[in-house]
Amino acid sequence: MHETKSCAIIGAGLVGLCTALEFLDQGYKVTLIDPQDPGLGASYGNAGFIASEAIDPLATSDSIRKALPMLLDQHGALSIPIGNLSQTIPWLIRFVLSSNASSVNNTRSALANLLNQAVPSWKTRLARENLADYLIPCHYMRVWENPNGEKAARNEQAFYQKWGIAAEFASFEQVKQLEPALAHSIHHAVLLPHAHRIRDPYKLSQALLKAVLQKGGLVRKENVTMLSPQSQQVEIKTDQAAYIFDKAVVCAGAYSAKLLRSLGVHIPLMA
């Protein structure tokens, strides 16, 4: 007699919920584990924009050059609390080392291959759950106020097109037609006509949760403290109990790095 395999999904945000549905469709018995209610955390209240064009890694020579002045501003976007320096400095060293041209090109290629699948994958998953109306086609513009920025805009358009991302140069008149509120401040833009966004990330997470439960998935509101391989299975310890599963998928956002450390996997991931 065939025994149904089990899978634990650690993290019940949008990524975890979609992963749970995929395993349920493959016939697994699925348990979602998260210390918060599903859909909270990073999936709650964000803009819901599917940034398929964001193939540039954070670590580039340009971003590091721009970041240095911010690090010196205690009220800036990159201000680091003194108490976090011991954890942050090793991360920053790895960040700088990964900004070399070879690493950046490899990362761009990997991100392009991954992100090109994002919208089609969302369409497939949401259609399967009768939730297609949550995915909204829209346009997205990178704008310039000064006419001197036209060369930069043309270069950016060419960059997107090189990586298979549809991009158009939009003149002042086109910008005015698309976004009348910008008519008095924007000179030109790069238009990404095939952008998509999620109508309401939290409401979508609740709809996906409903689908998970209808397909027999379970939810445990517990905090995972350790992962431990056990032959062909994995033991998961939480603040309340210990469980054995055939598979486990970590979808815990910035917390994933801490969990994977117990397996000897060191990911330079910080909130």
Return the pLDDT at 81. 74
- Model confidence pLDDT, tens digit, residues 193-230: 999 999 999 999 999 999 999 999 999 999 999 999 88
Return the pLDDT at 239. 94
Give the chain's residues under pLDDT 70.
1-2
State both tokens at 114. 């991954």
AA identity, residue 259: L
Q: What is the C-alpha R_g of the chain?
A: 22
Return the pLDDT at 2. 57
Q: What gap in Å lies between CA 175 and CA 133, rounded to an integer?
A: 27
Residues with Cβ within 8 Å of residue 145, at least 6 apart in sequence: 185, 186, 187
- Model confidence pLDDT, tens digit, residues 83-102: 777 878 888 888 889 999 99
Return the pLDDT at 44. 87
Q: Within a 13 Å sphere around the CA of 98, how many CA atoms are in the beta-carbon half?
A: 14
pTM (two decimals): 0.87
Q: Within a 13 Å sphere around the CA of 113, how many CA atoms are in the beta-carbon half?
A: 5
Return the pLDDT at 254. 85
